Amino acid sequence: MRCRASFSIHTHGYKQGGITLYGLEAIQAHNGWAMAITGAIIVMTGLSILSFIISQLHRIIALLDGRGNRKSTQKTDKDPVFNPEPKPQLPPLSDLGETMKRFQPLTQDIGTPFDLTALFQVFAQHDDPHPHLTIRSLREQGYLIPDGNGLFFWKHA
């Protein structure tokens, strides 16, 4: 016995002036192409605006947090109460012995042996321009000696 299935799709057409329109003809008769293009333009415009907002989100958050006025609240040289702390002048990395002599007394507060993160904080507090590079160079040249437990101490000058 043969099984026979038949499917029929009934479409309801649009009657215009006694003529029934189907498919693309009905779309064209009701300005469907213009509506489709307009819809696509609206969607693309919305996505473009959304991507612009996301790209500028860091500025919006800074504005809401009040960080945008940070420059106006910082003290400057012209303020009468501004007294900058004297900071050691940093020699270039080529003279690591001088760097060790300048920063060794500053690290007495953190104790001996010390952790490199504590040394990094000392360097950062005294505006060393490249604390990671300086610490690495001091280690490579033997000015910072490991004690075997993850701590370091200065080479005796």
Q: Is the pLDDT of residue 107 over 60?
A: yes
pLDDT of residue 79: 55
Residue 104 and residue 148 in one domain: yes
* CB half-sphere exposure, 133, CA atoms < 13 A: 6
Q: Is residue 147 part of a domain?
A: yes
Q: Is residue 29 part of a domain?
A: yes
Which of 65, 81, 107 is the C-terminal boundary of a domain?
65
Q: Is residue 130 part of a domain?
A: yes
pTM: 0.38
Residue 102 and residue 150 in one domain: yes
* CB half-sphere exposure, 114, CA atoms < 13 A: 20
Model confidence at 14, pLDDT cuts 50, 70, 90, reads low
- Mean residue pLDDT of the chain comes to 75
Q: What are phi and psi of 114, to 5 degrees?
A: -125, 160
Q: Is residue 2 part of a domain?
A: no
Q: Is residue 128 part of a domain?
A: yes
Lowest mean pLDDT segment, chosen from 42-56, 74-88, 92-106 = 74-88
Q: How many domains does the chain have?
A: 2
Q: Is residue 77 part of a domain?
A: no
Model confidence at 3, pLDDT cuts 50, 70, 90, reads low
Query: Which two tokens mark 68?
Result: 């945008």
Q: Is residue 74 part of a domain?
A: no
Give the structural domain span for 30: 14-65
Give pLDDT tens digits for 108-155.
Answer: 778 777 788 888 888 788 777 777 887 888 888 888 888 878 788 777
Please state, in angstroms and rounded to a whole number, the distance separating the CA atoms of residues 100 and 138: 8
Residue 150 and residue 100 in one domain: yes
| DSSP collapsed to 3 states, 7-63 | CCCCCCCEEECCEEECCHHHHHHCCHHHHHHHHHHHHHHHHHHHHHHHHCHHHHHHH
Residue 50 and residue 100 in one domain: no
Q: Is residue 81 part of a domain?
A: no
Which of 123, 108, 118, 112 minimizes the C-alpha distance to 146? Answer: 112
pLDDT of residue 85: 61
Neighbours of 118 (CB within 10 A): 15
